[in-house]
Chains A and B, each alone.
Chain A
């Protein structure tokens, strides 16, 4: 459906994207995940045709659209701050893409309104068509923006930080709702987020970006369980990093707080200096004896809470090793 080849983009001297390659299958729900400034929005805008790459090609449905403007690409774009037309009613916003059509594609007014109503029903905003965007809540505005983008029957839906401006509760509801909507419609979609939880929960595949490069592409479970670079290991989920003694400088082993086994004769010993409940587990933090590294561990909350000053002996039962270049030198268990 989407094929990106060698996309690069500079803003002045600043390289925003270096050689991005990405393939998206029809119907996939893709998350672009990365910290702020990693180039996610820029990539999304290049796919839409709102921005143009310096080099590389964009193929949509087998067609080379590299130099087509957004109007001819037929994609739905949902802006981070919704960009609703504040002087138009919700129904007019949704029908905008239909009412600017000219010639034989132009639907009569009644048909446009019926279509707008239908879309408002789809996004569960029935009956709010005569309101103005200023009279809606953040979550409702987001859904109007989505309905407006869907009105032109795009072949692709692009969403920039769709939940970024919402509070936690609304975010969670809307997240589930969007996933259901995607299942129902099967429209190929890419959304941008800096929230790993969001990406892992929603996406079929997660594209992790850092400093204008793709670090890893994979199913949420694969990205979480088998991060291929130190960046992914650190950015997606929580990770403890320990220098590896007796290897070249800069080598590290990474393990997650729960990837440990408690053992009285364990190789590592944590001196606990902070304990709190983290959902279903106890989280113990402190420094390792010997190396003095800061480490976080998750312990089953069925047991007794660890005490401050206690020493916990453990072995990481699953870990990944990276050398100074960030190459994985040894994966999986040890």
Chain B
């Protein structure tokens, strides 16, 4: 980049860069290192043992299950919402755009409470659910619902700016050549958005596995049954099992690192630009 007319003196620039690096190191790098060093404080043996307890394994399995359900769902929802918003005019469009951002703008705890109010024992549908012997709150369906809600925006927020920028020309060209809606989506739209979609899915997955607040409210913290990895970490920590807590936490940290690396590779390789990132 050339020197902008407003560029700072070299001294100020160095100071700014130093501040940014120190800040990053202190708030991001140091905690990350602390997680791994705490986890491995007593060596690799206790670390692996802590991951091998039935409760830890159950938490890992549950987290993978939740992600395996909610990420594909949000991939479909996100693509459908972005497609509708960017390619069509319809009444209620502005409302839909606002609603997509809702999960980002309310506290996750409140999101969880909404589901308790709807499906809990004293909730709106509570009596009906109890009658039919269906359990949502304090069970896996509740955790899935909360996770889907929380992670809904990631794919849509990634795709909407991209699809707006690409416009409708390619789709119109495909239709004018005789393609039907599905062929147009599959052969034209999807290839045009695939890297943005992958990026959104990556972020969605990271959040689905890492979500604490909303899941904590609906889960009920039943060991071996409704504890996800973040909830399991909290329980172990409160029981002063630091090696165990940090061992599971290090898996989550690892997931974060893998996500960051994949994201960087995507950006570098395909020149995805910043915009609507969270």
Contact = CB atoms under 8 A, between A and B. Distances in A.
Contacts of A151: 177
A75 interface: yes
A85 B193 CA distance: 12
Contact of A71 (B170, B180, B188): B180
Interface stretch (A25-33, A95-103, A164-172, A194-202): A95-103
Nearest to A77: B176
With a 10 A CB-CB cut-off, give which of B169, B178, B188 has the most chain A CB atoms.
B178
Interface residues of A, number: 23
B264 to A, nearest CB: 23
A137 to B, nearest CB: 19
B174 interface: yes
Contacts of A76: 176
Nearest to B194: A87
Contacts of B183: 100
A151 B173 CA distance: 13
A50 B177 contact: no
B37 interface: no
Interface in A72-91: 75-77, 79, 81, 83-87
A120 interface: no
A151 B174 CA distance: 13
Contact of B177 (A81, A87, A97): A97
Given A83-B169, A83-B170, A75 B176 contact: yes
A117 to B, nearest CB: 18
B192 A148 contact: no
Tell me which of B173, B188, B192 has the highest count of chain A C-beta atoms within 10 A of its own C-beta.
B173
Nearest to B191: A87
A82 to B, nearest CB: 8
B101 interface: no
A71 B187 contact: no
Given A87-B191, A87-B192, A81 B169 contact: yes
Interface in B164-215: 169-170, 172-180, 183, 187-188, 191-192
A106 to B, nearest CB: 11
Contacts of A69: 175
Given A87-B191, A87-B192, A71 B176 contact: yes
Contacts of B169: 79, 81, 83
Contacts of B188: 85
Given A85-B188, A87-B191, A87-B192, A96 B177 contact: yes
Given A97-B178, A100-B177, A50 B172 contact: yes
Nearest to B184: A100
Contacts of B179: 71, 96-97, 100
B187 A100 contact: yes
B145 to A, nearest CB: 36
A70 B180 CA distance: 11
Contacts of B187: 85, 96, 100
A152 interface: yes
A48 interface: yes
A50 B168 CA distance: 11
B236 to A, nearest CB: 47
Nearest to B172: A50
A70 B176 CA distance: 5
Contacts of A84: 173
A77 B183 CA distance: 18
Contact of B173 (A75, A77, A87, A101): A77
A218 B187 CA distance: 42
A7 to B, nearest CB: 19
Contacts of B180: 71, 100
Nearest to A70: B176
A76 B178 CA distance: 10
B190 to A, nearest CB: 10
A76 B179 CA distance: 13
Contacts of A85: 170, 173-174, 187-188, 191
Contact of B175 (A71, A86, A149): A71
Interface string A191-232: 000000000000000000000000000000000000000000
A70 B174 contact: no
Nearest to B183: A100
A178 B207 CA distance: 55
A48 B169 CA distance: 14
Contact of A152 (B170, B177, B191, B192): B177
A101 B187 CA distance: 13
A96 B173 CA distance: 10
Given A79-B169, A85-B188, A87-B191, A50 B176 contact: yes
A96 B187 CA distance: 9
Given A79-B169, A83-B170, A87-B191, A101 B176 contact: no
Nearest to A78: B173
Contacts of B172: 50, 70, 77, 79, 83
3 nearest A-B pairs in the assembled complex, by CB-CB distance = A97-B177, A83-B169, A83-B173
Interface of A: 48, 50, 69-71, 75-77, 79, 81, 83-87, 96-97, 100-101, 148-149, 151-152
22 contacts: A50-B172, A50-B176, A69-B175, A75-B176, A76-B176, A77-B172, A77-B173, A79-B172, A81-B169, A83-B173, A85-B187, A85-B188, A86-B192, A87-B191, A87-B192, A96-B177, A97-B178, A97-B179, A100-B177, A100-B180, A151-B177, A152-B177
